[in-house]
Amino acid sequence: MKMKVALTTLALTAAFTATVPAGEFIPAAGFGSQYGDLGGKFIYRENNMALYVGVGVNAAAVGVHLAPSAASSHVFGAQYASESDVFNADSLLLATYDYHISGFSGRGWTVGGGLGTAEHQNGRREGDNKTVAVLNIGYKF
């Protein structure tokens, strides 16, 4: 169910951003919950805001990034991810912080983290939620 929600969100985000003439699309690859554990991220960025969809080995993520300015290296955001193998979770809901080495509007390396909750619905921890911290490392092409 969570994967269907992520894929539906991916389709809606793609449909919405395809009709918006301003901004730019940026591909990225990396490790962490923003990249579906290990995979790619497709970013739509306009000024100091970005929407992204990440798809990886066995997970998917959607999120938003907000920077104080387009030139800032410090970026704050929120993210929903589904089916994380790294955290053995059915879903993650996180507040995120990323440091963009070349600035938010530049290309290059990003390093960041997130803090939030992981929901477990399968197995022996069914229905449990726990607080998790994540690390994200990626490269914007």
DSSP assignment of 10-31 equals HHHHHHHHHT--SSEEEEEEEE
Domain membership of residue 44 as a residue range: 2-140
Q: Measure the CA–CA gap between 91 and 81, rounded to whole angstroms.
A: 6
**Cβ(42)–Cβ(30) under 8 Å?**
no
**Cβ(89)–Cβ(132) under 8 Å?**
yes
pTM summary value = 0.79
How many distinct structural domains can be found in the chain?
1
Q: Measure the CA–CA gap between 3 and 5, rounded to whole angstroms.
A: 5
Cα dist from 34 to 17, 54, 127, whole Å: 19, 6, 23
pLDDT tens digits in sequence order for the chain, 141 residues long: 555 555 666 665 666 555 556 789 999 999 999 998 899 999 999 999 999 999 998 889 999 999 999 999 999 999 999 877 776 778 889 999 999 999 999 999 999 999 999 887 665 556 678 888 999 999 999
